[in-house]
Amino acid sequence: MKNIMFIAPPAAGKGTQAELVVEKYHIPHISTGDILREISKEDSEIGEYVRETLASGQLVKDEITYQLVEDRLGKEDCKNGYIIDGFPRNLEQAYKYDEILERLGYEVGNVIYINIEKKVLEKRITGRRLCENCGAIYNINDPKNTPKEESVCDECGGKLYQRSDDNLESFQTRYQTYEEKTAPIIEHYRKQNVLKEVNGDDTVENIFKQIEDIIK
C-alpha cells in the first residue's frame, strides 16, 4: 500500500481520519503531535521545552522532529505503508523528509490535503474531547459526534479530556503558524503531482469516503 501523508489546518479532523484509515487498512499512524505529547510528559529539560511549546501553539524545533521521524519510520511495521500526520510542517521539513524517504527507500505516496475554512474550524475547536484511555475523539459542539454520557468515552468508558492547546487563543496562533509555515508545502507536493484534495467541511463519514477513493 502507498504511504499516506495528511496536510490539514489545526482541528480539521486529520487525527480522526487517520484513525479510520488505521482501522480499515491496518497500517501504522505516525503522528508527530502524539509523539511530542508523550515527550511533553517527561520530567526532563526536553520534556519541559516541548510542554511549553505545545501549549503556546508554536512549532517545536525542527531538529527534534527529524530524529524522531526517521527513527520511527525506520521500524519494521512501516515497511508496508504508513500514515504520517503532522510532519512535514514547513518547507525545511518537507525537504528533509524527501531526504529521509530516499535514505529509507520509500516513496512519499498520496499526500492528502484536507481543505476547510478557518471559521468552520473555530466553531469546532472548543468542542473537541479525547479519551485519555483509547484516544477516541469526540466533539461536544457536533450533535453527531457527542459522547452518550458527558466526559465518558462510548468505546471504552475512559475519561474524556480537552487538549491543552484546544482553546481559541492557542488556535489562532496555531492557525497563523499553519498559514505561514505549513500551507507552502501544499505547493511543494502539488508540483510533485502527488497532492490529492478533499473537502473537510463534511461529516466524518463523507470525508473518509473521499479519502478511501484516493487510497483504494
* Shortest separation between residue 94's beta carbon and ligand AMP, angstroms: 10
Nearer to ligand AMP, 97 or 208 (CB): 97
- Of 11-50, binders to ligand AMP (CB under 6 A) are 32-33, 36
* Shortest separation between residue 216's beta carbon and ligand AMP, angstroms: 25
The residue number whose beta carbon is nearest to ligand AMP equals: 33
**Residue listed under C-alpha cell 507536493:** 189
Q: Quick one: which of 125, 113, 116, 139 has its CA closest to 173? A: 125
Mention every residue, 6+ apart, whose C-beta is less than 8 A from residue 210: 198, 199, 202
- Of 101-140, binders to ligand AMP (CB under 6 A) are none
Nearer to ligand AMP, 28 or 152 (CB): 28
Q: Residue 72 interacts with ligand AMP (CB under 6 A)? A: no
Nearer to ligand AMP, 93 or 145 (CB): 93
Q: Are 210 and 199 in contact (CB under 8 A)?
A: yes
* Shortest separation between residue 191's beta carbon and ligand AMP, angstroms: 20
- The whole-angstrom separation of Cα 194 and Cα 101 is 15
Please count the residues of the chain: 216
Q: Are 16 and 137 in contact (CB under 8 A)?
A: yes
Q: Helices 168-177 and 118-125 sit at what angle, rounded to 10 degrees? A: 140
Of 16, 53, 146, 172, the one binding ligand AMP by CB under 6 A: 53
Query: For residue 62, how far is the Cα from the chain centroid?
Result: 16
Interface positions with ligand AMP (CB under 6 A): 10, 32-33, 36, 53-54, 57-60, 65, 86-87, 89, 93, 174
The catalytic residue positions are: 14, 89, 128, 163, 174
